[in-house]
A and B are shown apart, each in its own frame.
Chain A
């Protein structure tokens, strides 16, 4: 089986995969919301961490009793699947001060499921002072003490250093895969890239590093691929639905770059393993370019740089209906990108299990406009 075939296999049944490795590993599994939580801490504590997302295809029913329809559908779907015991392998979660629904419902989680292990951290949104980084560092130290209690394993300087090395390697490998997408005929599609990163978000990182190395070799020898009719960049929050990128790419365009929580925002930085490790983690994760953490102006710089490097023809903002942070930035980003960078921009509203037919129509029209 090739690396890509293995990725496709895991991506095809992520719940089944997690259930299986949970039984085999003997480790406790922790779900982690958002890219602002350093999973290195959990790894160093002997836990298996994975990014929390809703498994596809299950209508939201049970969560309606607790979360109203105007909250994030992604988080409602997660909560729905928690209530339905769809994460039987999950021994706890880490929630961060982040998007509105997650931040405000952390108490709701404990209110409704008091026996669940739920750890939290506060953030330092926008405040990039040294004082703020010091504060975040203390929050990380507090999180470390909390997860140590769950795992029963102390986090040593050595184990944390090892975890940082493993995660740095993982980020570097994914960046290398992203690099390949800069070519005129990228060796992998946007859908394949999304599957690759989603698998990375759930696998044991050391195993994933081996898989990614093999994948890189395969991709370098994949042969000539057809040149896409248009190169797209996708910007949005928690894009995990393969159908969305399949719909985009059904137009003949290729998604070659992304500015998303599960995509580049999770991989673009490196943690300095040489200095004080908690401080190094605080500094690195403080840079994650989620809209709730940084100014729209900084996001513009991030998007423009990526758009130029990947030579994109247009930017698709695919924004979850209830994600106010993304929606607050959109008017400014749209105006600046179209006026100054002269890149065409379109806006797609998404929700968990959203209907792809109208999205297909809009993307087809957008891609057609790019070809004129």
Chain B
């Protein structure tokens, strides 16, 4: 097993403590919403209205990191949630259907309302529809259309989402018994926009050699744009992280002791084996960015002067589409153009790891074309591996090490 450990960011350690506290606090606060970790303005708005938000998707990652995915997925499958379904969903239903009361971080309280948005995967709707039926609680959905191709967004897309958002806000005001104020909307939109700026700065800083952060640092910090979006607390955490990383860059402090290769990863990392980056670190390999970190969240600066438009555009801008703003469905094929070429150059990338993830068809579709492109156009070695994000039963350490070792031979000097 890995012996070289990446130097963890102090701010990431602080964030871990904050996450624990956030989970504890959820037991004390009502009403509680369960929501999805995508670019979901309903989360930002619910918080203004005094609705606390918990994320079963994030909780599935927590359970997975504590190696409980095998247990929970098995329970869910026994209740007809088939193995082909997303492992976040199987973890979540396994947690709900488990009879014993021992769960990581004490579990998450049952929801009073369910929130979802359709800019992520199709399952975000079906999963939350299933939860709505399971809990018999109100379901507030912001439906955002997917553009299946690169094209400028017609005006009626924005108009439609602004109106849908208004309908959702009416429902949330009734559930919370509170009214939105213009000032709070503006503040939240401002924090949302500022968080995006700091997130993008963190990624820009990682172009430095040596890279000040590894994939695991960024994956931890991702909790802010995913789960603390639109909060001052989240903004302060990112500001602190940015200050620390700037310092690292100034002092040429790398995330790993001896950086010899800079790799890009595509797809969601295996949360139960996030320390796979340490195995790479032992061979001098660092991951300065991944598509999940760079082409999905906060990909563009969205003006916050009109909060409703900001939030509608935020919902429509999940993912990367050559700067137009898009939805996650468009991520992988969209990034294959100039953006990836520029990033390979700027981040000084000399190899790629592409995960084909059974649980996430959205992030995996295009992976095979991408591998071909990177090999052919950029002449870089590519490792394609089957890795599920949150079903540890599908992962074999021995087999994966063999694949990794073969890849190290290919890139040489590792």
Contacts and interface: CB of A to CB of B under 8 A. Distances in A.
A342 B160 CA distance: 42
Name the residue among A65, A95, A131, A330 with the largest chain B CB count within 10 angstroms: A131
Interface string A171-183: 0000000000000
Given A97-B146, A125-B125, A330 B364 contact: no
Interface stretch (B172-180, B367-375, B406-414): B367-375
Given A111-B336, A296-B129, A124 B368 contact: no
Contacts of A335: 80
Interface stretch (B99-107, B212-220, B355-363): B355-363
Name the residue among A71, A99, A138 with the largest chain B CB count within 10 angstroms: A138
B141 interface: yes
B45 to A, nearest CB: 17
B145 A324 contact: no
Contacts of B330: 107
B122 A324 contact: yes
Contacts of A330: 80, 82
Nearest to B365: A104
B362 A131 contact: no
B362 A100 contact: yes
A169 interface: no
Interface size class of B (residues with CB under 8 A): 35 or more
B329 interface: yes
Contacts of A110: 149
Contacts of B149: 106-107, 110, 118, 120
A228 B411 CA distance: 65
Given A101-B361, A296-B129, A135 B122 contact: no
Nearest to A132: B143
B333 A111 contact: yes
Interface string A85-102: 000000000010101110
B223 interface: no
A247 B337 CA distance: 47
A230 to B, nearest CB: 23
Contact of A331 (B81, B334, B367, B368): B81
Interface in B354-410: 356, 358, 361-362, 364-369, 372
B13 interface: no
A100 B121 contact: yes
Given A125-B118, A127-B143, A324 B329 contact: no
Nearest to A297: B133
A135 B130 contact: no
B127 A124 contact: no
Contacts of B150: 107
B160 A108 contact: no
A112 B361 CA distance: 18
B84 A68 contact: no
A127 B141 contact: yes
A66 B145 CA distance: 25
A291 B132 CA distance: 15
Interface string B120-160: 01110111011011000000010101111110001011001
Name the residue among B84, B89, B365 with the largest chain A CB count within 10 angstroms: B365
A301 interface: no
Contacts of A334: 80
Nearest to A99: B122
Contact of A327 (B84, B125, B364): B84
A155 to B, nearest CB: 19
B86 interface: yes
Given A100-B361, A123-B145, A132-B160, A112 B369 contact: yes
B183 to A, nearest CB: 27
A151 interface: no
A122 B154 contact: no
Interface in A247-282: none
A197 interface: no
Contacts of B127: 328
Given A107-B330, A122-B148, A329-B126, A129 B89 contact: no
Given A101-B361, A106-B148, A120-B148, A126 B141 contact: yes
B209 interface: no
B369 to A, nearest CB: 6
Interface string A46-78: 000000000000000000011110110000000
Nearest to A134: B160
Contacts of A325: 122, 126
Nearest to B132: A295
Contacts of A308: none
B126 A122 contact: no
B89 A322 contact: no
Contacts of B126: 291-292, 296, 324-325, 328-329
B5 interface: no
Name the residue among A118, A127, A129, A142 with the largest chain B CB count within 10 angstroms: A127
B163 interface: yes
Nearest to B121: A100
A122 B333 contact: no
Given A100-B362, A104-B362, A324-B85, A126 B129 contact: yes
B79 A331 contact: yes
Given A135-B160, A322-B84, A126 B364 contact: no
Contact of A103 (B85, B93, B329): B329
Contacts of B118: 125-126
A167 to B, nearest CB: 24
B236 interface: no
B164 interface: yes
Nearest to A327: B82
B167 interface: yes
A17 interface: no
B334 to A, nearest CB: 7
Contact of A108 (B123, B145, B365): B365
A331 B160 CA distance: 33
A321 interface: yes
A328 B89 contact: yes
A105 interface: yes
Given A70-B361, A110-B149, A111-B333, A321 B84 contact: yes
Contacts of A118: 149
A344 to B, nearest CB: 15
A332 interface: yes
Q: Which 7 A-B residue pairs are closest in the complex by CB-CB distance? A: A122-B145, A127-B143, A107-B333, A328-B126, A106-B148, A120-B148, A331-B80
23 contacts: A65-B369, A65-B372, A68-B364, A70-B356, A71-B361, A97-B148, A101-B365, A103-B329, A107-B149, A107-B334, A111-B369, A126-B143, A132-B160, A135-B156, A135-B157, A138-B156, A138-B160, A139-B145, A295-B133, A324-B123, A328-B129, A330-B80, A330-B82
Given A70-B84, A100-B121, A135-B160, 14 more contacts: A66-B369, A68-B368, A104-B365, A107-B150, A111-B333, A122-B148, A126-B129, A126-B143, A129-B164, A131-B160, A142-B154, A328-B89, A331-B79, A332-B133
